[in-house]
Copies of this chain bind each other. A is one copy, B any other.
């Protein structure tokens, strides 16, 4: 099942540092040391966040000499959006109901 995938994806997204890292990676691949720069925390700490993102499949890394560049992977985000889309129907239905109510009221 993909429920564990959802667990890991949403948990990974539940932290502002990790969301900022993803933002940064949208601009292009990056090294840990550069990803760590904007944050007031140690390099190993950012390395741990990176591991959470890797475990969720949101980031992949390749080898380049002593470097390990990070690359954004979109697939798990798609799965998360798909899950949330189910709810869009719910709230859109609610707003349509509300629209209908207001229209009715205007007709009075």
Enumerate chain A interface residues (CB-CB to B < 8 A).
3, 6-8, 10-11, 13-16, 19, 22, 26, 72, 74-75, 77-78, 80-81, 83-85, 87-88, 90-91, 94
Contact = CB atoms under 8 A, between A and B. Distances in A.
A72 B19 CA distance: 26
Given A26-B87, A74-B87, A87-B26, A14 B16 contact: no
Contacts of A11: 10-11, 14
Identical copies of this chain, number: 2
Provide the main secondary structure of the chain A interface: helix
B26 A3 contact: no
Contacts of A10: 10-11, 13-14
B26 A6 contact: no
A94 B74 contact: yes
A92 to B, nearest CB: 9
A14 B19 contact: no
B87 A84 contact: no
